[in-house]
Structure 1
Amino acid sequence: MNKFPSLSLFVISLGLASAPVMAEQEEMQADVAEQSKKEKEEDIKDVMVVNASINEVVKPEMITSEDIKNNTIGNGNITDLIRTLPAVQMSNGGMSGNQQGEIKPTKMTIRGANSYQNNFMLDGISFNNDFDPSSDGNGVTATTIESSEQGYYIDSRLIDNIKVYDNNIPVEYGNFTGGVVDITSKRWRYHNGGSVFYSTTRSGWNQVHYDHQIKFSTANNDNSRPSRFQPHYKKNSFGGWFESGITDTLGIVFSASHRESDISAVKFQGLSPELDENNNIVITNKPYQGFKNQTRDADNFSGKLSWYMTENTNADLSINYSKHKDYSFSPKEDHSGNQTDHTGIGGMFELTSNFDMAELSINAGYQQLQDKRTSDQNYFIGFNDYSQYPSASYNSGGIGDLKTTQKSTNLKTKLQFRPIQLSGTIHEPKLGLEYSKTKGIYQRDKDYYRYNFYYLNMGPWMNDYWSTSVFEAGRHSASYTNYAAYVDDTIKYHRLTLRPGIRMDYDDFVKEANFAPRITASYDVLGDGKTNIIAGYNRYYGRNMLIYALYGAQNAGLKNCTGYMDIDDCAPGTEIDENWQHQSDFEGLNSLSTPYSDEFSLGLEQVVLNTLWKFQYVYRKGRNEVISRPKIDNSVVKIFDNSGESSHNSFSISMSNPEPWMLGTTENTLTSSIIWEKNESNKPKNGYASYDPSGRVSKDYVYYNGKVIKASKLPATDFNLPLRLNVELKTQIPDWGLSVYNLLEWHGRRYQAVRYDNKYYNDREHGQMARYEREDFASTLRWDMKVSWAPSFAYGGSVSLEIDNVLNKKNVTDRYAYYNSNREMIIANSYDVGRQFWLQLNYDF
């Protein structure tokens, strides 16, 4: 029975509204107009519901399951798949061929934002690591565990697809200033079957390029960078997935993979200081001990249970587990081994129900991320011999046991209305609510000591002495709750489509309500769907990192003692008393605001024959970015504030043919893009709490390339590829069971701001400031290829060969400072990977 007699609801089938169906839309509009006329004649209100979706104003970049199967995938990480997208840039250091034994995801930026300000999502729930995953530039430290922005190190071969939103991002996505990487896992689709794979590579299949000023040997690694050089390694990975129906409407998908890398490294040799049972120093001369493996292991397990409850209601329950183990050691310090375990485990539930007027979706999730470091020797001892020239130091020990844990609870609901005809316009409203609670724990289970003994042997007028630091055991926690609400409406009026919306976020750490307006417009110039102008203004608020709430915990138990007057005051075994000093070195964490970015974009999409061309300009202005600075001149106390700012300008032209073009019996798909990009920032992009070691450096000005300039005008120190060209060609030869993928990447000449050895410049007007140099880099060219063969007689079996850098080009990607045995600083080149082969075997069943 109709509860509203004055309101007639009509359902009109539209099909999919896309460029090829504009004629059908016009017929629909004509039908709507005719129906509206009849309703007016009958004095009935003009409102109707339409069972179809209006054209998406802006579509995300999409990586399909077919792309994942055919493209080069390298280590199998998500970042390996999306690195060629126009808005994505990889870290310069992440492209280094010096560390080809690693299997962790490479850091990346979207639209020039900080690498840790992207939102990674799996089946609608974020899995971001909100502890500091970025290096501060000083290598491995005692106070942090260098991790990754991603809470799960997902194997890309186990997922269904990836959507990347990089501009004009809808209101249902929040907590980022860069972009959104939305991953969908495999789901049961009424089939029984699966796939298994095995892949391998090794250093013998890799032509390594390195700077010959430096001996490319693990013997040159040190305690802060124990894995800088990796000349010998071997990688293997295997896994698979299967799906099976349990009943006619209930099915499961299970996925698992294991990836491993063994990196052969020389063991310690030389003088090793240790403490005996009486806490006396004993120095042992250890001879050459051969080689030992540094190891990397990554495991992924996931299961998804899908229930097609009714024709209109579906439910999914999934569990995900990811673990990465890293064991590293330095050849220059005895007992320096450290194992770091990164673990992510979580469960998610999703319910989707379709009604006549709307679709309701509910997502709930819980996850726990943990980074744990265990040292072979939980103390460090350094013997510094100044009785001779040159002086010498002998070290032993690791950087201490440490554990961080992040627990997150999420609940999201979204109501997506079906298109409604209202007075000549079509509306598609959407609204949603979100709740999340995040708790972080910083934990040190036992005291960690760093002992340094200074042997002077200069007689009674200058005693030998100890300098000792202790990080006392303790457990610190912090939590915050975030609430969000959003609403938007996609409005279509003739050739114009508008999507105005607003998102509100509030969390009880900052205690501010952040309103993010977002509006995007699209105009179909000729009315045939082939020429569209797209423009937008959008604001994106970032996340409040746990590292800010827990920053004080890093040094909360740090106490220092220097025994100038009495050598025994700070010696090993001495009780901690008034001689041990502790001082807080920070302020301002309780008055921070949320960083945000304002975006302006303008684009044109043009269909030419069987190709789609996109011309796009994006400008972003980053504001309220957190930065640390001295409290006053010559102060070691640092204040955190929101004076950081950045800017991003980019223009791109991309072309693709959505439908393959035929050449003989081959099917060919071409995708290409050229991107110009410029990024500037007054803060480095290498950590939430990045701070200059001197504690006195100016935050407003820097000395760059012989001039004093505003810090906000400093060129990017990383992610600095201003001109890029990517060409991807996929060729299928069905008769032969062959698939060939080619990728060409060209990077133009560029310059980059670099700072070696924390250099400074003193200026009369602006005081002490960071000193940067300009480094110029030549253009680079890289050609990657993958050939896959799946012959019919193999009954599902296939083999593929990936070749990175087919031409073996010697491409310089970065430069770094290195100190040789004479403690002379060398500026060395870092090169992209040389020619490398990957072999993979697959069996689909």
Structure 2
Amino acid sequence: MRFAYSPLNIAILTALASQTYANESQISEEIKTNTVSMTPIEVEVKAKQEVGKTVYTKEDLEKTPNSSKNITDFLKVNPNVQFSREQRSADSQAELRPSEISINGAQSYRNKFVINGVNTTNNLDPLASGNSYSGKLDGGSQGIALNTDLICKLELIDSNVSAAYGEFTGGVVNAETCAPNTEIGQVHGSVTYDYTESDWNRYHVKTDADKALFEGDSTQSNQKEYTRQGISANVYSKLSEVYGINLYASQRSSELPVYSGLPSPDIIKQKKLNTNIGATLFANTNSDTSIKLGFSLGDLENNSYAEKRRNSYSTTNNESALIFAEIAKVYQWGKLNQKLNYQNIDNSRVNEADIGINWLYAAGSKDWNNTEKVWEAASSADIDLKQSTVNYEIDSVFNTFKLAGTQHQISTGFAYHYDDVQWERTKDFSTFYGVTSGNAKNLYDLEGGQCQINDPLCDENTTAPFINNKVPTVFQGQYFKKGSLYRAGEFNKKYQQASIYVEDDIRWNNIRARLGLRADYDESNNHLNFAPRTNISYKPFSNDTLTLVSGWNRYYSAPTYMTDLRQSLSDLNFEVTRADQNSQWIESESSGSQDTRKKNLKTPYADEFVIGLSSEFKNAYFALKWVNRQYKDEISRNKTSIPHNGFNFSYEYGNSGYGENDTVTFELETLEPLEFLGTQHNLGLAVNYTDSYRSTPDYTENLTEEDLYKLISYDGKIMHFGDKPASNYNQPITARFTWDIGFNAVPVKISNFFSYKDTYKQVLTASSADKVIHDGVKIDTYTLQDVKPRFSWDMRTTYDWKISKDYSAILGLTINNITNRNNLYVSGSKLYSEIGRQFIADITFKF
């Protein structure tokens, strides 16, 4: 595809090129003169490095190539974060939903996301996806898809996590919006606009799967034509000595001209939107008291159509709202911090129709698609999932005291958490599927008869020939005698959670130990869980030249509420039948084999052992860390031999899942920029080795207890099925290298991000004829296919154009995969290509 030279792109490239001809002395003088003319947002000073925790500043967020402008995509820079192998897929570049991530081998929905001190994790049904009439709805683990343009501080805690945090088995991601630090009465801020489109991309059509995907028309599953853009704004001011305020908003959008597969309209403009709005009020009533009040609203909207399916329009909205209040006060004995917040996550889907029908092709009526079967109306029911939460937290940090030659600082905290969760099918939904696997099961021959007037489930036109039970057949008209009815209904439950923790930060000579204990009560599973936390460090030289770190910790996960609600859905399922086209419909309860009940579940947990070392020597920081995680009592969907609803089997949620992960991480970076011929250079290297296995991927998998322990042949080795390596989020070796360049004479910055992912082995299941014989018995065999290494060089460059004393513009250009390398990944059993070279232009106006 050609590169589209839009006016915006030409302007940015011209501005970047112009710095070559700039008068260096004049620019330098302007920089000196205007350095303090604009007071920026208050940004955290670069935090001191700590094994297990990484803090990113506003500058880090702005300079890193991040075309998606969301938190998890930015975290590609962190070596402890694993992404799905499909993260950079060429066919999904119009998506606005944040990528799912795994931290130290945890399931992707077991991380904790916190925004301005409020837990925004989606615990309802984070794995639900696709179009479903049975009750599923696209979710995702993040309750709010916050734009990184609105963030001033981002913190990732991946290991040795304090007892102050609970409800996770992966990691904790803390995001904070900005706080004002301006002259009293002055208003400052910034507005950012970014743009890209499919013509600014390069696509590789190399494999057979690529050709099948990209040689056809643009569809929802093949987003080869799109326009993506976004705008965001931050306004901040210190109103007085006491009060300050920060206002922020953003909206990102993607538009896709999707081919419908229908005669009219042949192209449908699909749109995706992600909107964030918020405000925070800061008050320092005196030197000992600070107050923070605020709110944040979000809406991730997706409009979609089912290809070649008439009247199939639907809209999905993931709406979120949070209101928070925080007060911190210093007393003679220490510091007391209290938080009270409310959060609401509302995921809903609305369809154009309340019925889904599968007809046989009939010229003159059922002929909008030239295939044996034609589809009509909705492919999913109207669903509404809500999670409303009220949370109160109180934390105390006591003054340090000495005891027997040691220094102690004790922290304690209590939290109360109230959840009101709800699932609702907002209106009745019916499905009538006529031909399944070549058999007309619910659809019948009208035999030249007549339909009742306005009967939407009867058609008098002769069908095209089709295969019915291996016999060529033609219907003289067609009508339905049987279908499924999913009644409107609502289920909701209320849960309470409470936690308490105590932690002692102990210092003795060169040793520092943080010893803590956390207790969590989870009403969903009716369990009281105790989680010990330890973090011990030793500095043999009494400084940062060498620090040895170790820790043993236990983390309990948050509840997944859909395991409670799912067992109630079958009460709304019915079957509708009629004797012929002239008879009345009769309803009867439907017995489904997919019903899932919940037995007494344990709370999933992870045991962690950490050992590592770090060093600051001259201008370099070095760290080496090994994290071992044992995952136990993971929730699984198990197939049992217990009869139910006329079936000789049934399903129930249990704690059959388990897993283990080893992560070794090496990091090396400069502490201060390296000066070279009028330029400054910051360098960073991170290498990661991961070995992970998981018995069951998640709570949607159908397995029996016996399945986990049956023997298989895996890459020539005999092992239990549950002990095979994880199929995703398990890239064995990765390397990341960052190189940031600044110039003394010109206001240009260049940030490079190099990513290398080593060869990995994709699991393939052998055919039944290739099964291995072990102890006289044939066992399932899994062979491995090597996927070549993946390398990507992403770059972001900016030019700071000083317009006047109080105004400036930053022109930016991001180029992903500069070398246009054809990186391959496996989805299912097929090889696909990642996106090739990609351009994103942006401009920021500061005042």
TM-score w.r.t. the length of structure 2 is 0.83
**Contact 1:176 1:541 survives alignment (8 Å):** yes
Find the counterpart in structure 2 of residue 66 from structure 1: 59
- 8 Å contact 1:698–1:767 — kept in the other structure? no
Number of the residue aligned with 1:183: 175
Q: 1:758 to 1:74 in 2, by over 3 A?
A: farther
**C-alpha contact 1:442 1:553 (8 A) present in aligned 2:** no
Partner of 1:216: 213
Q: 1:227: Cα distance to partner?
A: 2.4
The alignment status of 1:169 with 2:184, answered yes or no, reads no
Cα separation, 2, equivalents of 1:334 and 1:219? 20
Partner of 1:514: 529
- 1:264-279 equivalences under 5 Å are 264-269=257-262
SS in 2 for 1:550: helix
Q: Give CA-to-partner distance per residue, 1:447-481, whole Å, 9 cap, x none.
A: 11011233576999999864411111101001211
Residue in structure 2 matching 1:612, options 612, 617, 621: 621
Match for 1:216: what amino acid?
Answer: L
Counterpart residue number, 2:245: 252
| Alignment of structure 1 residues 490-501 onto 2, 5 Å | 490-501=505-516
Distance 2:590 2:319 in 1: 36
Secondary structure at the residue paired with 1:790? strand
Which amino acid in the other structure matches residue 154 of structure 1?
Answer: L
After superposition, the Cα gap between the structure-2 partners of 1:493 and 1:337, relative to the gap in structure 1 and judged at 3 Å, is: same
- Residue of structure 1 equivalent to 2:375: 395
Q: CA deviation at 1:93?
A: 2.3
2:810 aligned residue (798, 805, 814):
798
Aligned residue type for 1:89? Q
Q: Is 1:160 matched with 2:138?
A: no
2:543 aligns to what? Answer: 528
- Post-superposition Cα deviations, 1:725-751, rounded to whole Å, max 9, x if no partner, equal 000111121421011100000000111
Distance change (3 Å), C-alpha of 1:88 and 1:56: closer
Please, which runs of 5 or more residues in structure 1 have no aligned partner? 1-53, 270-286, 817-826
2:722 pairs with 1:729: no
Paired position in structure 1 for 2:387 = 406
- Number of matched pairs: 748
Q: Percent identity?
A: 22
Matches within 5 A, 1:336-347: 336-347=312-323
State the 1:790 CA deviation. Answer: 0.2
Deviation at 1:553, TM superposition (A): 3.6
- The question of whether the paired residues in 2 share the 8 Å contact of 1:162 and 1:184 is answered with yes
In the alignment, what sits opposite 1:836? Answer: 838
Is 2:687 the partner of 1:680? no
One of 638, 642, 655 as aligned partner of 1:629: 638
Partner of 2:27: none
Q: Does 1:77 align with 2:70?
A: yes
Q: Distance between the aligned counterparts of 1:427 and 1:757, measured in 2?
A: 63
Letter in 2 for 1:361: N
One-letter code aligned to 1:91: S
Q: Is the 8 A contact 1:98 1:208 kept in 2?
A: no
Contact 1:588 1:641 in 2 (8 A): no
The secondary structure found in structure 2 opposite 1:727 is strand
One-letter identity of the residue aligned with 2:748: L
CA drift of 1:791 comes to 2.8
Deviation of residue 711 (structure 1)? Answer: 2.4
Selected match of 1:202 from 168, 176, 197: 197
Do structure 1's residue 446 and structure 2's residue 427 form an aligned pair?
yes
Structure-2 separation of matches of 1:584 and 1:592: 22
1:638 CA drift (Å) = 0.6
Secondary structure, aligned partner of 1:556: helix
Q: CA deviation at 1:708?
A: 6.1
Deviations 1:543-586 (A, max 9, x none): 111111211244431223577xx4559x9x72313xx4235755
What code does the residue aligned with 2:265 have?
Q
Where does 1:297-308 land on structure 2 (aligned, <5 Å)? 297-308=273-284
Query: Is 1:807 aligned to residue 783 of structure 2?
Result: no
- The match for 2:587 is 576
Question: For 1:645-684, what per-residue CA distance to the aligned partner results, in whole angstroms no more than 9, with x for missing partners?
Answer: 0100011110111222212222221111000001100102
Q: 1:524 to 1:309 in 2, by over 3 A?
A: same
User: Structure 1 residues 773 and 228 mapped into 2: Cα distance closer, same or farther (>3 Å)?
Assistant: farther
| Counterpart residue number, 1:416 | 397
Mapped to 1, the partners of 2:111 and 2:733 lie a distance apart of 22
CA separation in 2, counterparts of 1:712 and 1:156? 38
| TM-aligned CA deviation for residue 766 of structure 1 | 13
Deviations 1:375-424 (A, max 9, x none): 1222100125799xx99321112212111111011111111123222221
2:657 to 644, 657, 663: 644
In structure 1, give the amino acid aligned to 2:819: L
CA distance in 2, matches of 1:329, 1:111: 37
1:312 matched residue in structure 2? 288
Which one of the candidate residues 658, 678, 693 is aligned to 1:665?
Answer: 678
Provide the residue aligned with 1:557 in structure 2.
572
Match in the other structure for 1:94: 87
CA deviation after TM superposition for structure 1 residue 639, in Å: 1.8
Please state if 1:787 is matched with 2:797: yes
> Is the deviation greater in 144-153 or in 763-772?
763-772
Alignment-mate amino acid for residue 184 of structure 1: E
Q: Residue type matched to 1:726 in 2?
A: R
Give the AA of the match of 1:613: F
Per the alignment, do residues 456 and 218 of structure 1 end up closer, same or farther by CA in structure 2, a change over 3 Å counting?
A: farther
Change (3 A) 1:349 1:132: same
CA–CA distance in structure 2, aligned partners of residues 702 and 359 of structure 1: 57
The AA in structure 2 aligned to 1:451 is F
Contact 1:431 1:487 in 2 (8 A): yes
* Alignment check: 8 A CA contact 1:235 1:262 kept: yes
Measured in 1, the distance between the counterparts of 2:48 and 2:405 equals 17
Contact kept in structure 2, 1:79 and 1:106, CA below 8 Å = yes
Pairing partner for 1:505 from 491, 510, 520? 520
- Find the counterpart in structure 2 of residue 689 from structure 1: 700
Instruction: Give the counterpart letter for 2:172 in structure 1.
Output: V
The Cα offsets for residues 99-128 of structure 1, whole Å up to 9 and x where unpaired, read as: 111111011111110111000001221001
Q: Aligned partners of 1:467, 1:581: CA distance in 2, in Å?
A: 12
TM-score (normalised: structure 1): 0.83
1:164-196 Cα deviation digits (max 9, x unpaired): 000000000100000000111112234431110
- The match for 1:600 among 609, 616, 623 is 609
Separation of aligned partners in 2, 1:357 and 1:644: 46
Matches within 5 A, 1:714-793: 714-753=724-763, 774-793=784-803
Gaps of 5+ in 2: 1-46, 364-369, 435-439, 449-467, 470-474
Whether contact under 8 Å (1:696, 1:768) holds in the other structure is no
Say whether the 8 Å CA contact 1:682–1:700 is kept in structure 2. Answer: no
Q: Deviation at 1:70?
A: 1.3
Q: Call closer, same or farther: CA 1:66–1:469 in 2, change over 3 Å.
A: same
Contact 1:218 1:265 in 2 (8 A): no
For 1:83, what is the secondary structure of its paired residue? helix
Other-structure match for 1:35: none
SS at match of 2:722: helix
Amino acid aligned to 2:375: N
Relative to structure 1, is the Cα distance of residues 350 and 765 closer, same or farther in structure 2, using a 3 angstrom cutoff? farther
2:411 matches 1:435: no
